[in-house]
Structure 1
Amino acid sequence: MSNPDSSSNPCQACGACCASFRVSFYWAEAEARGLPAEFTEQLNPWMNCMASTNRRAPRCVALAGTIGAEVGCRAYDQRPEPCREVQPGDGQCLKARARHGLPAHPSLA
């Protein structure tokens, strides 16, 4: 698992976004980034998603750890663009944190 240091990345103590949203992307992105096939599911002939994010209660299979405590992404270096777009403290982040009962992170508010 390759992850940024938790002291420099508040996401390493959260993970709420990885358990809140479907992460869909053009199928070829997975191959181009070297994303392991077991981390993806086919949605249609053109789109894939991160495995287990296309459920009523999503939680990405690449997410390891406890949400709100300490987490890591087992595919961090290969993660698709939708994962890269969510930024600490942005609207998607805050929505995910609220969904999991987490307050806005003090350093992000």
Structure 2
Amino acid sequence: MSNHTPLETSPPEIFDCQSCGACCAYQADWPRFSLESDEQLAQIPEKFIADDLSGMRFETDAKGQCRCTALTGELGKHVGCAVYEVRPQVCRDCMPGDPECHIARKAFGFAVDDLPDPDIYVA
């Protein structure tokens, strides 16, 4: 990952993460808490935190897909985050087009060819 400070969101005219969501459903051990302070973690509603307090809670949805419980909407069509303003650092660090994005998108069969260069998000 880049050492630059990324923008908080990807501008939709460059890439619309709200039409994807793969990074929020790829693996339960991706959204792990690491750099957050106790005060930051206290802002995330308890219902979205894993029982072992290690990261965000993942559950299987009605379609049998395991995903972060804060992820709303339909993967690959239109998604959002119920805790976007207070999401953990790992979620803030994942940028469209970065290696993690590619891994998650490929796992769901989503295209990666037209993804932007993540360095364009550097503020």
Pick the TM interval, shorter chain.
Answer: 0.7 to 0.9
> Letter of the aligned partner of 1:7 in structure 2?
P
Does the 8 A contact of 1:25 with 1:49 survive in 2? yes
Residue aligning to 2:120 = none
Following the alignment from structure 1 to structure 2, what is the Cα–Cα distance between the partners of residues 84 and 72? 14
Instruction: Give the match for residue 79 of structure 1.
Output: 87
Aligned residue pair count: 98
Residue 112 of structure 2: SS of its match in structure 1?
coil
Per the normalisation by structure 2, the TM-score is 0.69
RMSD: 2.4
1:95 match: 103
Question: Normalising by the residue count of structure 1, what TM-score does the alignment of the two structures yield?
Answer: 0.77
Kept in 1, the 8 Å contact 2:10–2:17? The answer is no
Alpha-carbon contact 1:41-1:50 (below 8 Å) kept: yes
Indicate the SS of the match to 1:88: coil
Give the match for residue 37 of structure 1. 46
Counterpart secondary structure, 1:41: coil
Report what 1:62 is aligned to: 70
Moved over 6 A (4+): none
Task: Give the secondary-structure state (helix, strand or coil) at the position aligned to 2:85.
Answer: helix
Distance in 2, matches of 1:40 and 1:85, equals 19
**Aligned partners of 2:100, 2:10: CA distance in 1, in Å?**
22
| Preserved contact between residue 25 and residue 81 of structure 1 (Cα < 8 Å) | yes
Unaligned runs of 5+ in 1: none
Identity of aligned residues (%): 34
Distance in 2 (alpha carbons) for counterparts of 1:82 and 1:6: 19
Which structure is higher in strand share? Answer: 1
Distance 1:52 1:67, change over 3 A: same
Indicate the structure (1 or 2) with the bigger Cα radius of gyration: 2
